[in-house]
Amino acid sequence: MPAHRLTFIALNVSDLDRSLVFYRDVLGVPLAAADHDADLRDVWFGGDHAAFSWTDGAFLHFALYPARLPERPVTRAVQLGFHVDDFEAVHERVIGAASPVLMAPREEPWGTTARYADPDGNIVSISRRTA
């Protein structure tokens, strides 16, 4: 196992409820509301947020936190990608949610991929899992 490996991704969002709808309901990331460690008064971590941890294979924790200035400004210009089991269904949900399509589905070496803008303008791609 490599000594350095990504284990945590957090986006500071302008509207937690709106971002939760996009990532959970539209993309299908099973985020759950959380509010642990609020009493620590940590400016970067804790309090109301939504999170999900992948535990199959390499561990990765993905979280959405409400932005809080000055320490937690809204995250901008990030690119994220997700493999999805039902590409067409997720793509149709994104279209139905009126999220901006930045790149229509096309074939890439890793599978069919499309890119969209999340509620804060970050670039989010979905890709069909290849065998």
Cα dihedral 103, 106, 107, 110 sign:
positive
Whether a cis peptide bond, with omega within 30° of 0, leads into 109 is no
pLDDT (tens digit, 9 = 90+) per residue, 57-114? 678 889 999 998 888 899 999 999 999 999 999 999 999 999 999 999 999 998 999 9
Pick the CATH number of 8-128 from 3.10.180.10, 3.40.50.150, 3.30.1600.10, 3.20.20.70: 3.10.180.10
H helices present in the chain, as ranges: 16-20, 87-96
- Euclidean distance between CA atoms 3 and 55, whole angstroms: 18
34-65 pLDDT per residue, tens: 776 655 556 666 677 788 887 766 788 899 99
* Contact indicator for 65, 13 with CB cutoff of 8 Å: yes
pTM, two decimal places: 0.86
